[in-house]
Amino acid sequence: MRLSQMLFVTLRDDPADAEIPSHKLLVRAGFIRRLGSGLYAYLPLMWRVLEKVKRIVQEEMNRTGAQECLLPQLQPSELWKMSGRWDTYTESEGIMFALRDRLERELGLGPTHEEVITAIAKEMIRSYRQLPVNLYQIQTKFRDEIRPRFGLMRGREFIMKDAYSFHCDEASLKSTYEAMDQAYRNIFSRCGLDFRAVDADSGAIGGSGSQEFMVLADAGEDEILYTEDGLYSANIEKAVSLPTDAKPSRFSTYKKEPTPDTATIAKMCQCLGCDASNVVKNVLYQAVYNGGKTVLVLVSIRGDQEVNEVKLTNELTKLASHYESTNILSLTVPDEKEQQKWAAKSLPLGYISPGISDDYIAKNASVADKFLRLVDQTAVDLTNFATGADEVDYHVTGANWGNDFSLPKLVVDVRKALVGDRPVHDPNGELKTARGIEVGHIFQLGTKYSQAMGATFTNEQGEEKPLVMGCYGIGVSRLAQAAVEQSYDKDGIIWPTAIAPYEVVIVVPNVGDGEQMQVAEQIYAECQAAGVDVLLDDRNERAGVKFKDSELIGIPYRVVTGKSLKQGQLEVVKRADKSVQNLAIATVVPTLVTSIKADKKAS
């Protein structure tokens, strides 16, 4: 490609709305252009990067026997109603764009494709003889994200590779899951990324089978907890750890004590002279189920611990059938306005006890009339603890489960693991923290969708069984930007060679110089003949501008037809470390071919 023919515009200044380096650089270097919130045009340079990522994804997926297809992006609501996800995805904080067609039929714009693929499998897969199969597509997904940001990292329209596998049993699912794990490792390595596979939350369906692939970068939206021995790493949403031991309690008899103005744990501990681990903290949440019921949830947890809302959501989802529902729409800490909707009287916030009376909830058909009380394992073992007295400015001390408060029947693990905690496998170790960008997720779904949608097959024994499923996603456009977030310097992007839009840029300092142009054309033709992706900067611009641009757009190798031409040599500069080689004209392209090959192998 000749730069003089390209729509190529670089910006001197960072775009005002860009917060992280990769976003700034991709806009400045003319790879992407914003059209609206979370909406970006992939310009020609970016499209080449995306095509290269896609090619790598296709090669590694095909190698496992997966087959590429393309599914509709417009999805009938009936499918999502069958799976029970229509309400969750369209109401409240739902992320699906929903619309009506001219016949008033409801449709959603695909944020993901479990429903579509399960509907197809239901019609096409009859027998165990057709299993296992794994289908994938690379396609634009639509999600009405609450906070679109960071350019392609969290878009409302983005490119995803999603795969769905079908099996006759768990063992077959596990084997494909492992093949996907390996394929993902190959893909991310080949794209030149520094990544880590971590245990991930798999929602209320539980199971051990979910892993995310994180590109390590400070700008990552996810937090990872890991151990240095390499034996444990998990998304903080999912992470487990050993809590520290509670300090011995200094209380021995049950007493109500005045504790004015101590609505926080820190203040109350100071006032009572106790440690936060001697406290049972009672956190009030409001859960809205898709059946329409609002449920007030009281979580009792040790005072020095925090609630992990992802774990709590999973526990509450398991209880959905108690409230004629299948899912929860939202989980929030109710603010004053929300409280007014259901509170019969003003709540003793900051002083709530585990036994707070259900009379605080006004009679209302859409609100469950009793608190749903859960206790975290950390609070179960406490004795002689301090907690709220259900009266503002008062706490009780020396309390015990069984005597003073009944222990909630639902004992759960909803505790947030934190950096510095002891890992479960090594009580002498310590959890470290890192930030990551989630570029992929592999997931053992089991029969969640097949059961809900009636997708069954006949097994070897002639019995009708629900299909066992797995799903596997890669954020293709997010991955491309994540590569930049990991690889840039003050002058611009440093693309890993395997996904660079061009591998070589030939810079002609003076296009008016006949010899320079002629040699440049010769190298250009040689590169093309050798299968090297080459860009020729034949613009009538100052040399300085061309050098700056070539660094900004991050092409791995730059060939300059400059001063050394007099000695029959060309200057070859490596973008990553700016190292310079002067090579005889005839050896330039063979040398480049070798270097490019080595780069791709190394990653």
Q: Please tell me the distance from the alpha carbon of residue 134 to that of residue 139, in angstroms, as a whole number.
A: 16
Cβ proximity to Mg ion, 76 vs 203, nearer residue: 203
Give the interface with ligand ATP as residue ranges (CB under 6 A). Answer: 112, 143, 145, 154-155, 158, 160, 438-441, 473, 475, 477-478
Least distance from ligand ATP to the Cβ atom of residue 293, Å: 26
* Distance separating alpha carbons of residues 217 and 438, to the nearest angstrom: 10
Q: Quick check: 89 and 80 in contact, CB under 8 A?
A: yes
Report the distance separating Cα 240 and Cα 475, nearest Å. 26
Residue 141 binding Mg ion, by CB under 5 A:
no
Contacted entry of Mg ion, ligand ATP, none for residue 440, CB cut-off 5 to 8 Å set by kind: ligand ATP
**Nearest alpha-carbon partner for 95 in 22, 152, 158:** 158
Q: How big is the CA angle at 286 (ends 281 and 289), to the nearest 5 degrees?
A: 140
**Which of Mg ion, ligand ATP, none binds 475 (CB below 5-8 Å, type-dependent)?**
ligand ATP
What does 541 bind: Mg ion, ligand ATP, none (CB cut-off 5 to 8 Å by kind)?
A: none
**Could you tell which of Mg ion, ligand ATP, none binds residue 142, using a CB distance below 5 to 8 A set by kind?**
none
Rounded to a whole number of angstroms, the minimum distance from the CB of residue 290 to ligand ATP is 19
Q: Which is nearer to Mg ion, 162 or 599 (CB)?
A: 162
Q: Which does 439 bind (CB under 5 to 8 A by kind): Mg ion, ligand ATP, none?
A: ligand ATP
User: Under the criterion CB under 5 A, does residue 238 sit at the interface with Mg ion?
Assistant: no
Instruction: Sketch the per residue contact string, 428 through 467, with Mg ion: x for CB under 5 A, - otherwise.
Output: -------------x--------------------------
Residue 119 CB neighbours (<10 A):
22
Provide the minimum distance between the beta carbon of 47 and ligand ATP in the complex, in angstroms, as a whole number. 16
- Residues making up the chain, counted from first to last: 603
Q: Does 416 bind Mg ion (CB under 5 A)?
A: no
Nearest alpha-carbon partner for 355 in 404, 293, 316, 297: 404
Q: With respect to ligand ATP, which residue has the nearer C-beta, 412 or 482?
A: 482
Q: How far is the CB of 206 from ligand ATP (least distance, A)?
A: 16
Q: Which does 143 bind (CB under 5 to 8 A by kind): Mg ion, ligand ATP, none?
A: ligand ATP
Cα(479)–Cα(159) distance, rounded to whole angstroms? Answer: 10
Name the 3-class secondary structure at 552. helix
122/441 with CB nearer Mg ion = 441
Nearest distance, CB of residue 106 and ligand ATP, angstroms: 22
Which segments of 357-487 are extended strands (E)?
372-376, 385-388, 394-399, 410-412, 432-446, 456-458, 464-466, 468-475
Residues binding Mg ion: number (CB under 5 A): 1
Q: Decide which of Mg ion, ligand ATP, none touches 388; Cβ closer than 5 to 8 Å per partner kind.
A: none
Measuring CA to CA, how many Å separate 118 from each of 94, 112, 170, 559? Answer: 21, 12, 17, 52
Q: Which is nearer to ligand ATP, 437 or 504 (CB)?
A: 437
Residue at 231: amino acid letter: L
Partner whose binding site includes residue 259, from ligand ATP, Mg ion, none (CB under 5 to 8 Å by kind): none
Q: Which CB atom, from 223 or from 521, has the smaller least distance to Mg ion?
A: 223
Output the CA torsion 440→441→442→446 (10° steps): -150
Using CB distances below 5 to 8 A depending on partner kind, what does residue 106 bind out of Mg ion, ligand ATP, none? none
Kindly list the distances between the CA atom of residue 245 and the CA atoms of 302, 401, 416, 427, 548, in Å, as whole numbers in the listed order: 11, 18, 15, 12, 58
Dihedral sign of CA atoms 469, 224, 482, 219 in order: positive
Which residues would be at the binding site for Mg ion (CB under 5 A)? Answer: 441
